[in-house]
């Protein structure tokens, strides 16, 4: 059994701060070959966007060269990048999906 001396606590609880996970942006990059409709399908399928929002992001990718699909913890962002990249390869499109620290 623990005893308390002067200035000692039976239980010393150390409070530690847990850092929030780093967040990463998932981005689609423009190319000259992937059809716009395919990009909309990707945004709807993998990022749960409605058609209107997916079309806005697709147009941003088309006009500005890249567009953000979402912000996620690192492991989820990496999984999204892999899923989108595999889906694009499967359909023989060169659509690039990348992640960068937010």
DSSP letter string over 80-97? HHHHHHHHHHHTT---EE
Reported as a single tens digit per residue, the pLDDT across 20-35 is: 999 999 999 999 999 9
Q: Which residues of 81-102 are buried (b: 16+ CB within 10 A; e: fewer)?
A: beebeebbeeeebebbbebeee
State the pLDDT at residue 15. Answer: 73
pLDDT in tens, 48-85: 999 999 999 999 999 999 999 999 999 999 999 999 99
Domains and CATH numbers, the chain: 35-101 (3.30.1390.10)
């Amino acid at each position: 059994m623990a005893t308390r001396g002067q200035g000692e606590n039976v239980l010393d609880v150390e409070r530690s701060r847990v850092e929030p996970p780093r967040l990463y942006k998932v981005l689609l990059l423009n190319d000259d070959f992937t059809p716009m409709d395919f990009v909309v399908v990707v945004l709807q399928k993998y990022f749960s966007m409605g058609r209107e929002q997916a079309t806005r992001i697709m147009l941003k990718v088309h006009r500005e060269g890249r567009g953000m699909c979402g912000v996620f913890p690192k492991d989820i962002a990496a999984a999204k990048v892999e899923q989108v990249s595999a889906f694009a390869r499967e359909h023989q499109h060169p659509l690039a999906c990348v992640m960068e620290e937010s």
